[in-house]
A and B are shown apart, each in its own frame.
Chain A
Amino acid sequence: MSRLKDLQKNLFGGTTSNARQFGMIFTLVAIVVLFQILTDGLTLRSDNLIALFQQNSYILILAIGMLMVIVAGHIDLSVGSVAAFAGILVAKSMTDWSLPWPVAILFGLLVGAAIGAWQGFWVAYIGVPAFIVTLAGMLLFRGGNQYIGNANTIPVPEGFRTIGSGFLPEFGPNTGYNNATLLLGLAAAVAVVWREFQARKTRREMDADPAPMWISVLRMAVMVGVIVFASLRFASGRVGTSFPISGIILLVLVIAYSFYTRNTAGGRHIYAVGGNSRAAELSGVKLKRVNFFVMMNMSVLAALAGMIFVARSAASGPQDGNGWELDAIAAVFIGGAAVSGGIGTISGSIVGGLVMAVLNNGLQLMGVGTDRVQIIKGLVLLLAVAIDVYNKSQGRFSVIGSLMRPFRRDDSAPPASPPDAEREPAKAAVSG
């Protein structure tokens, strides 16, 4: 095994799907650096970073739910419309029925749950393909939004706007930075270090050698470095701004859902259903329940994303959420999920979403028009997935591996163990 592969394995864990993630993180870093240079440092300026997060948090929240839907082998085209529908209902509930805003948020989540139950019912219990159910939902809830709002915009009260445009509060001594953001960064840095040592302990309990210490240190140093840099940037923005509340919501969701998909039986079942639904069923997985859950969960997250968007733009309108489904789906696929289901991670999807976000943002900063931005985004999506598909067909996995091939010491291609060779005699034996 080559040095590079070793490093990659040690830095990102051993499983094959991580190879793709490695490539994505690499790509993300490369894009950030590229735009940092092209925009003369505008990309990583505090105000731009803050705006980047605020403008994309709702897409990234959608990507979390979409990842689970796609891993289970489905798709959800309705998220934009569901977000808009929930958004207008919540706005109306506060202006017309004068619900207090925290209650309105709860109400919005319930609306999402109800819509999700409706879509999940058709997908899981009747067996209508999710593509059709959510295509119908896309029309249904877009129409619903415009019917309820009379195609008008409805403003939302000040308190509610916090979830979309609020920031961590100022307190404590005047350090020249936002103290809350600094504390958050500190907590994140501690968590990263703690997790690294926890992982080493787990490896030892598995009687496996943990990665060499220098790798662990390097990995921690890189992560802590990024965290320190980011928190200083977020904490030093214009007075009154700091790390956005919507970013906090996103962070909490990413951590919670990553844990759910990786470390609980429910999460495993989603991958099992997407990998081989019949095998999952014969292993005791309740197929219908899993399918119902992923569809319902998606709509709840869509409702949340809708509310954050409404809060940020201070009003709910008839065109909210247009095209979000495509951004979310693109993020998931760029982040390494398989079209046929069973493969993908939350963190990968977030990285994929960030690649698209930085691309978008960087091109806009450079003054590229939306026409050309769209063309470029479309090509990036196609290219990212095409490289992956091509690599798989060649029996390789790593995007980076193929970029680095000329520099590797051992040029021996991995012995592509052809699964067909094994399948053939099996077939012969079956039908012989």
Chain B
Amino acid sequence: MSEAPTLLEMRSITKEFPGVKALADVNLVVRAGEIHAICGENGAGKSTLMKVLSGVYPYGTYDGQIIYQGAETRFADIRASENAGIVIIHQELALIPGMSIAENIFLGNEPRKRGAIDWKAANRMALDLMARVGLQEDPDTLIKDIGVGKQQLVEIAKAFAKDVKLLILDEPTAALNEADSRHLLDLLRGFRSRGVTSIMISHKLNEIEAIADQITILRDGRTVETLDVKADGVDEDRIVRGMVGRELGSRFPDHTPKIGEVFFEVRDWNVRHPISAERQVCKNESFVVRRGEIVGFAGLMGAGRTELAMSVFGRSYGVFESGTIIKDGKEIVLKSVADAIAHGLAYVSEDRKAIGLNLLDDIKSSTVAAKLSKISHHGVLSEVEEYQAAESYRKELRTKAPTVDEGVAKLSGGNQQKVVLAKWMFTDPDLLILDEPTRGIDVGAKYEIYGIIQRLADQGKGVIVISSELPELIGLCDRIYTVFEGAITGEIARADATPENLMKQMTSTKKMANR
């Protein structure tokens, strides 16, 4: 195998965004006809690297060289890389639900006869491509009428329609069930035997171990190592060590927790998916939060942490099935967000821009938005009190903005997050649920946010932190729950938490007695 020629070499790729170095000196060598896995934590730079490769970030916006099929290439856009036979299949499938399988396969690439689309040829070719990916459907079937697993196959068929030489799959099995995943992996093996090269990004380490020939591990935008699965005898533990092996150092402010009694408890929480009712997104989940405690929720993307948090926060996600919430010894029923706020809950969402903030607003009206009653007198808002509240939070959280009249859209990610935190602190919550509180925020601002979280806990509030960054959870939280496929699979005290044991419980349904 090692004699196989090199198909692709990416040499010291560096990609910078304002304020962030997403990739620093990354090297990647892919041999022809292999399955090459790329591993790394969220934010390690895997997707950025693939975007550089596929021309999403065109030549000139990054440093370094891409040698493909023996020659240096400079892709100006995705079309250029596709013409060279590099096709990327993204995590979020790029299919049009209301169009048929055949229409999707040939979208933008339609076979023509005298200017009109030749549907006869399209359907014939579609059937041929579908056979290659093992998809047995009528090519006229609409995408929305087939399952996610089959949609994934359509995406791959679409790639073959473009005469693919290098297939890149970003988290191909993330949304698939067990059987569909197995089928997909078999398919990739079949491609390999026919000489198609694949690059696969995945969080599912067991799959990588089972299928990959080589593994390149990225961490913090750098290449850590490239492992040969057979020669190096790689197993999951070995991969995990490569992925998380960094010093935790003093990325967190010193903090001595003052933990009190259990005051918030969720018991046997069951929630169904809002659209496909057969999918259960929360399966009998139970957890407790103590006063002054920072509780972490660890899990992979799609594990159902956000869904759990939002369904607890006034049923703002999914269809509630059963479960109880107990606060301060009394059962409470939260049927709406307004109920949840009234009972002292706050939820800082993972997506500031999409659902956390009104980007048309300024800082001051954002700060008071979740509790206007606090600045109202006989139904009239006091502009003075609004200003004073916003100004005091701006000072306390050190939000960098000239005045509180500044529009939130103009702020950096870290400062926007501070405004969101201020908005929820203004509601005087007892329990704050912070969903990915430091996503997309630079290191300095992260440190400040951690300090704010710790101060909130010290005021006797309970804080739940949902994060995909394990070091963050380990550095910040007093106790960590692990979540996998909608169920809580473990509970680990801070002293026992290591990236390795968290990662293990985040990726298996087996409940481990770790306490």
Residue positions of A touching B, CB distance < 8 A: 14-16, 202, 205-208, 263-265, 268-269, 271-272, 275-276, 278-286, 338, 342-343, 417, 419, 421-432
CB distance from B13 to the nearest CB of A (A): 13
Q: Does chain A have a CB within 8 A of B58?
A: no
Residues of B within 8 A of A421 (CB): 17-18
CB distance from A147 to the nearest CB of B (A): 39
Q: What separation, in Å, do the CA atoms of A285 and B336 have in the docked complex?
A: 10
CB distance from B190 to the nearest CB of A (A): 27
Task: Indicate if the CB atoms of B409 and A419 lie closer than 8 Å.
Answer: yes
Q: What separation, in Å, do the CA atoms of A99 and B48 have in the docked complex?
A: 74
Task: Indicate if the CB atoms of B22 and A342 lie closer than 8 Å.
Answer: no
Q: List 7 A-B contacts (CB under 8 A).
A: A15-B362, A208-B387, A265-B379, A276-B359, A281-B316, A431-B42, A431-B91
- CB-contact partner of A282 in B51, B347, B410, under 8 A: B347
Task: Indicate if the CB atoms of A432 and B355 lie closer than 8 Å.
Answer: no
- CB-contact partner of B410 in A206, A264, A417, under 8 A: A417
Q: What separation, in Å, do the CA atoms of A419 and B380 have in the docked complex?
A: 34
Task: Indicate if the CB atoms of B372 and A206 lie closer than 8 Å.
Answer: no
- CB-contact partner of A284 in B337, B353, B405, under 8 A: B337
Task: Indicate if the CB atoms of B44 and A263 lie closer than 8 Å.
Answer: no
Given contacts A271-B361, A281-B337, could you give 17 more A-B pairs where the C-beta distance is less than 8 Å? A206-B387, A208-B387, A264-B379, A264-B381, A276-B358, A278-B354, A282-B316, A284-B337, A285-B337, A342-B358, A419-B409, A421-B18, A424-B17, A425-B19, A428-B51, A430-B43, A432-B22
> Residues 80-105 of chain B: 1 if any A CB is under 8 Å from the residue's CB, otherwise 0?
00000000000100000000000000
Task: Indicate if the CB atoms of B369 and A283 lie closer than 8 Å.
Answer: yes
Task: Indicate if the CB atoms of B349 and A428 lie closer than 8 Å.
Answer: no
Main secondary structure of the interface of A (DSSP, over half): helix
CB distance from B385 to the nearest CB of A (A): 9
CB under 8 Å from chain A, chain B span 404-426: 405, 407, 409-410, 412-413, 423
Residues of A within 8 A of B359 (CB): 275-276
Task: Indicate if the CB atoms of A432 and B44 lie closer than 8 Å.
Answer: yes
Task: Indicate if the CB atoms of B43 and A432 lie closer than 8 Å.
Answer: yes
- CB-contact partner of A425 in B20, B170, B365, B407, under 8 A: B20
Task: Indicate if the CB atoms of A428 and B381 lie closer than 8 Å.
Answer: no
> Residues 374-387 of chain B: 1 if any A CB is under 8 Å from the residue's CB, otherwise 0?
00100111011001
With A272-B358, A432-B40 known to touch, is A283 a contact of B370 (CB < 8 Å)? yes
Q: Does chain A have a CB within 8 A of B357?
A: yes
CB distance from A152 to the nearest CB of B (A): 45
Q: Does chain A have a CB within 8 A of B322?
A: no
Q: What separation, in Å, do the CA atoms of A16 and B362 have in the docked complex?
A: 10
Task: Indicate if the CB atoms of B341 and A264 lie closer than 8 Å.
Answer: no
Q: What separation, in Å, do the CA atoms of A235 and B288 have in the docked complex?
A: 73
Task: Indicate if the CB atoms of A431 and B409 lie closer than 8 Å.
Answer: no
CB distance from B169 to the nearest CB of A (A): 13
Residues of A within 8 A of B407 (CB): 16
With A265-B376, A276-B359 known to touch, is A428 a contact of B337 (CB < 8 Å)? no
With A284-B337, A421-B18, A428-B17 known to touch, is A276 a contact of B373 (CB < 8 Å)? no
Residues of A within 8 A of B405 (CB): 14-15
Task: Indicate if the CB atoms of A265 and B349 lie closer than 8 Å.
Answer: no
Residues of B within 8 A of A280 (CB): 358, 369
CB distance from B419 to the nearest CB of A (A): 12
Q: Does chain A have a CB within 8 A of B45?
A: yes
- CB-contact partner of A276 in B170, B357, B381, under 8 A: B357
Q: What separation, in Å, do the CA atoms of A280 and B370 have in the docked complex?
A: 8
Q: What separation, in Å, do the CA atoms of A103 and B388 have in the docked complex?
A: 47
Q: What separation, in Å, do the CA atoms of A208 and B349 have in the docked complex?
A: 33
Task: Indicate if the CB atoms of A286 and B338 lie closer than 8 Å.
Answer: yes
CB under 8 Å from chain A, chain B span 180-211: none
Task: Indicate if the CB atoms of B355 and A429 lie closer than 8 Å.
Answer: no
> Residues 10-40 of chain B: 1 if any A CB is under 8 Å from the residue's CB, otherwise 0?
0000000111101000000000000000001
Q: What separation, in Å, do the CA atoms of A14 and B433 have in the docked complex?
A: 34
Residues of B within 8 A of A423 (CB): 353
With A283-B423, A426-B439 known to touch, is A275 a contact of B361 (CB < 8 Å)? yes
With A429-B42, A432-B45 known to touch, is A278 a contact of B381 (CB < 8 Å)? no
Task: Indicate if the CB atoms of A286 and B336 lie closer than 8 Å.
Answer: yes
Residues of A within 8 A of B40 (CB): 432
With A282-B337, A422-B412, A432-B48 known to touch, is A263 a contact of B19 (CB < 8 Å)? no
Residues of B within 8 A of A285 (CB): 337
Q: Does chain A have a CB within 8 A of B356?
A: yes
Q: What separation, in Å, do the CA atoms of A338 and B358 have in the docked complex?
A: 14
Q: What separation, in Å, do the CA atoms of A428 and B19 have in the docked complex?
A: 13
With A276-B358, A279-B356, A286-B336 known to touch, is A429 a contact of B379 (CB < 8 Å)? no
Residues of A within 8 A of B43 (CB): 428-430, 432
Q: Does chain A have a CB within 8 A of B360?
A: yes
Q: What separation, in Å, do the CA atoms of A214 and B382 have in the docked complex?
A: 27
Residues of B within 8 A of A282 (CB): 313, 316, 337, 347, 349, 355-356
Residues of A within 8 A of B340 (CB): 284
Residues of A within 8 A of B336 (CB): 284, 286
Q: Does chain A have a CB within 8 A of B253?
A: no
CB distance from A15 to the nearest CB of B (A): 7
Q: What separation, in Å, do the CA atoms of A13 and B421 have in the docked complex?
A: 27
* List of 9 A-B pairs having minimum Cβ-Cβ separation, nearest first: A426-B440, A275-B358, A425-B17, A265-B372, A425-B20, A283-B370, A429-B43, A431-B47, A206-B387
Residues of A within 8 A of B48 (CB): 428, 432
Across the interface, name the chain B residue whose C-beta is closest to A9.
Answer: B405
Q: What separation, in Å, do the CA atoms of A142 and B46 have in the docked complex?
A: 60
- CB-contact partner of A428 in B47, B91, B372, B423, under 8 A: B47
Residues of A within 8 A of B354 (CB): 276, 278-279
Task: Indicate if the CB atoms of B381 and A268 lie closer than 8 Å.
Answer: yes
Q: What separation, in Å, do the CA atoms of A212 and B357 have in the docked complex?
A: 34
Task: Indicate if the CB atoms of A265 and B381 lie closer than 8 Å.
Answer: yes
Residues of B within 8 A of A343 (CB): 360
CB distance from B35 to the nearest CB of A (A): 20
Q: What separation, in Å, do the CA atoms of A284 and B345 have in the docked complex?
A: 11
Task: Indicate if the CB atoms of A284 and B410 lie closer than 8 Å.
Answer: no
Residues of A within 8 A of B46 (CB): 432
Q: What separation, in Å, do the CA atoms of A282 and B370 have in the docked complex?
A: 8
Across the interface, name the chain B residue whose C-beta is closest to A264.
Answer: B379
CB distance from B303 to the nearest CB of A (A): 15
